[in-house]
Amino acid sequence: SQTIHQWPATLVQPVGSPLSLECTVEGTSNPNLYWYRQAAGRGLQLLFYSVGIGQISSEVPQNLSASRPQDRQFILSSKKLLLSDSGFYLCAWHPTVSGNTIYFGEGSWLTVV
């Protein structure tokens, strides 16, 4: 069966520090991969999605970036965090077969102080 994992689960980072969140999917190949952010009490905001290695689409302008160095690995990064980057970050995958739904990792709670 397919599984998705992301880490770290929680982190507290100072303003201006770098960020790296990692996500891996097991048990499938060539998945669509996504990074979402959920601010406190708000809905899910799509940040990036990827349909293949090295292919990244950005949905919103920001100081975050994403990379997909391997088929089942998706990384979210920042060179310098802002206070507004605080939130709940969720990695997700979606089979490339149309009609199937999306599955989330456990999420990463980021607090920028």
Partner 1 sequence: RKEVEQDPGPFNVPEGATVAFNCTYSNSASQSFFWYRQDCRKEPKLLMSVYSSGNEDGRFTAQLNRASQYISLLIRDSKLSDSATYLCVVIHTGGFKTIFGAGTRLFVKA
- The sign of the dihedral angle between the CA atoms of 15, 113, 74, 48 is negative
Q: Is the peptide bond before 14 cis (omega within 30 degrees of 0)?
A: no
Of residues 2 through 61, those in contact with partner 1 by CB under 8 A are 32, 34, 36, 42-44, 46, 49, 51
Judged by beta carbon, residue 77 or residue 94, the one nearer partner 1 is 94
Judged by beta carbon, residue 21 or residue 92, the one nearer partner 1 is 92
CA distance 58 to 46: 9
Contact string (CB under 8 A) for partner 1, positions 79-98, x = contact: ---------x-x-x-xxxxx
DSSP 8-state code for residue 54: T
CB of 52 to partner 1, least distance (A): 11
Judged by beta carbon, residue 11 or residue 17, the one nearer partner 1 is 11
CB atoms within 10 A of CB 1: 5
Q: Please check whether residue 74 is in contact with residue 35, taking contact to mean a CB–CB distance below 8 angstroms.
A: yes
Using CB under 8 A, list all residues that contact partner 1.
Answer: 32, 34, 36, 42-44, 46, 49, 51, 88, 90, 92, 94-107, 109
